[in-house]
Amino acid sequence: MNAHFWRAQDSYLRRDVALTLLAGDQGDAAAVAAARRTLERAAHATTLNHPGKARVLDVLSQGSGIGAGEGLIGIIVADWVRGTDLIDLVAEYPVPSAIAASLLEPLAAAAETAHHTGLVLGLDHPQRIRVTPQGALFLAFLGAPAEASLHDDVRGLGAILYLLLTGRWPLPGGPEGVPAAPLGPDGHVVAPRALYSYIPQELSEVALRCLSGDSIGGIRTSAGLIRVLERAKFIDDETHQLQAISDDEEYEDDGTVWTTRRPSNDRATRRKLAVGVTALAVATVGVLAWLGMQLISFFGDTEPGAGGPTIVATAPGGNPQNGPPPPQPGEPIQAAGVRVYNVKGTADNPRRATFAVDGDPKTAWKTDAYAQPFPALKPGIGIMASFAEPVPFAEVIIDSPSDGTVVEIRTAPTERPKLDETKVIGRATLQAGQTKLQLDSAEPTQHVLIWITTLAEGNVSELTEIRFLRAQ
């Protein structure tokens, strides 16, 4: 078919129109018949409205608008849409893959819609196609050749994709100024990816499969193409954005907008972004950890036995209510000797230590009055009770007026151990009156430390009486 594409002005309505001029000798019956078919197709196309194709305004044929001897056998008039030529777009550099995909997608969608109603668009030549300012390809010059089929449209879409990706036209009869696509040894055009290795495999392949049409593995409907384009658009969004962020300088150096090469500092940019995202993740995690810990504290159970007149406190790892029965308290046992256990500074009232075990509720051992709570001056203060022989203990009962004092019961290997040599076997917050501390570990020990970690009000605590009950 011999078609010319013109932009013209409708002198009545003063608007621009796109003209597809079908040239030919009016005496050539075959050419006239083909042109009539083309015009019919274009007239049918008026029923289809799609942003991917221009609206057909009028169809002129010989006798209705075209005089004899003009060398024309038909004219198709369509809306003129502002934009640029596709060929101009790819003249200097091919288009990046993601952009190619997003450019082509509306056109492919138009073809798909047209094909559903049995219309052929006639995407056989790049000059028919223009690019809107919004970045979409559309069919500006309508008029499908008489012999064109739906498959030809798909092949044309493949060819346009090929052109976008590589700047070369893979079908015979390409426009001037656009180089033809190189042929491989098998006689077919080479894959776009073979020309530019950065092109995604999938996109490169789909262009070839559209072009191959009827042969095995070929794509014959535009639906298949659209799926790939959508994915390619999606896949490449990120890298595309990244290039835009990062490589401004390089672009400026080139003085070009499009580049055929993958920018060399692509990876460096990604690395920067990766570090940024990681830092963000770390910060978020830090905040989440803090929030989580608040939540845990919120859900957490309170200190055991925070109420009740006689507290039953247990060893930290202990198990009083369930499991193996705790050691049953037997008879009380008298300590052979007691002394104040102090790790820092001077001992508190060392000579009164025995008052705590003398069985007399009127006498007591008292700590010094501290200016600040533990562990400001010392980690704690305690009474070390030693026994004649290793004894398994079941309970310690402490009589004290100092409400809020926190004591730990610890076993010790010697009479004067370091604090970290002692082992916690019970812990409780004392209340005014008697506090019973149940111990679960009945292993015999010769030395027991009553270790005060928190003092009562006024930073002073008093222990009236401490009684030790051995396990049965």
Partner 1 sequence: MAIATMVSRITGFFWKLMLGWIIGFGVVQDSFTIANTLPNIIFELLLGGVLASIVVPLLVRSHDDPDGGQTYINRLLTVGMTGLAVATVIAVALAPVFTRIYIDGSTGNANPELATAFAYLLLPEILFYGLFALLSAVLQAKHVFGPTAWAPVVNNLVVMATLLVYAIVPGKLSLNPVHMGDAKLLVLGIGVTMGIVVQAAILLPALKRSGFKFKWTWGFDARLKEFGGLALWILGYVLISQVGMVVTQRVLSAASAGGVSIYAQAWLLFQLPYGVIGVSLLTAILPRMSRAAADGDTQRVVDDLSTGSRLSAVMLVPISAILTVSGVAIGIALFRAGATDLAQANRLGTALAFSAFGLLPYALVMLQLRVFYAMKDARTPTLIMLVMTVVKVPLLYMCGAVVDPRQVVIAVMLVNSLTFVVGAVLGQMWLWVRLGNLHSKKIIAVISKSVLAGLGGVAAAWLVSRFVLPGTIGSMGRAWLVLIVQSVVAGPVMVGLLMALKVPELKPATSRITRLVRRG
> Contact residues for partner 1 (CB under 8 A)?
200-202, 234-239, 267, 270-271, 273-274, 277-278, 281-282, 285-286, 288-290, 292-297, 299-301, 315-324, 408, 410-413, 419-420, 422-424, 441-445
Cis peptide before 375 (omega within 30 of 0): yes
Residue 322 in 3-state DSSP?
A: coil
Nearer to partner 1, 202 or 462 (CB): 202
Nearer to partner 1, 222 or 246 (CB): 246
Nearer to partner 1, 287 or 376 (CB): 287
Cα→Cα distances 75→49, 80, 172, 371, Å: 20, 15, 24, 105
CB of 4 to partner 1, least distance (A): 43
CB of 397 to partner 1, least distance (A): 21
Nearer to partner 1, 402 or 445 (CB): 445
The Cα–Cα gap between 143 and 405 comes to 97
The Cα–Cα gap between 98 and 90 comes to 15
For residue 186 the two structure tokens come to 């098998």
For residue 128 the two structure tokens come to 């028919």
The Cα–Cα gap between 224 and 151 comes to 12
User: Which candidate, 365, 373, 366, places its Cα nearest to that of 459?
Assistant: 373
Residues whose CB falls within 8 Å of the CB of residue 77, separated by 6 or more in sequence, listed in order: 17, 18, 19, 56, 57, 58, 59, 60
Q: 55: buried, middle or exposed (CB in 10 Å: 19+, 13-18, 0-12)?
A: middle
CB of 273 to partner 1, least distance (A): 8
Residues whose CB falls within 8 Å of the CB of residue 84, separated by 6 or more in sequence, listed in order: 130, 131
Nearer to partner 1, 71 or 316 (CB): 316
The Cα–Cα gap between 356 and 338 comes to 9
Nearer to partner 1, 68 or 277 (CB): 277
CB of 342 to partner 1, least distance (A): 16
CB of 434 to partner 1, least distance (A): 24
Distance of CA 292 to the CA centre of its chain: 21
The Cα–Cα gap between 275 and 266 comes to 14
Nearer to partner 1, 6 or 290 (CB): 290
Nearer to partner 1, 392 or 401 (CB): 392
CB of 232 to partner 1, least distance (A): 11
| DSSP state at residue 401 | S
Which sign does the torsion angle of CA 325, 327, 331, 332 carry? negative
The Cα–Cα gap between 136 and 107 comes to 8
CB of 234 to partner 1, least distance (A): 7
CB of 61 to partner 1, least distance (A): 50
The Cα–Cα gap between 148 and 54 comes to 19
Nearer to partner 1, 274 or 369 (CB): 274
CB of 241 to partner 1, least distance (A): 11
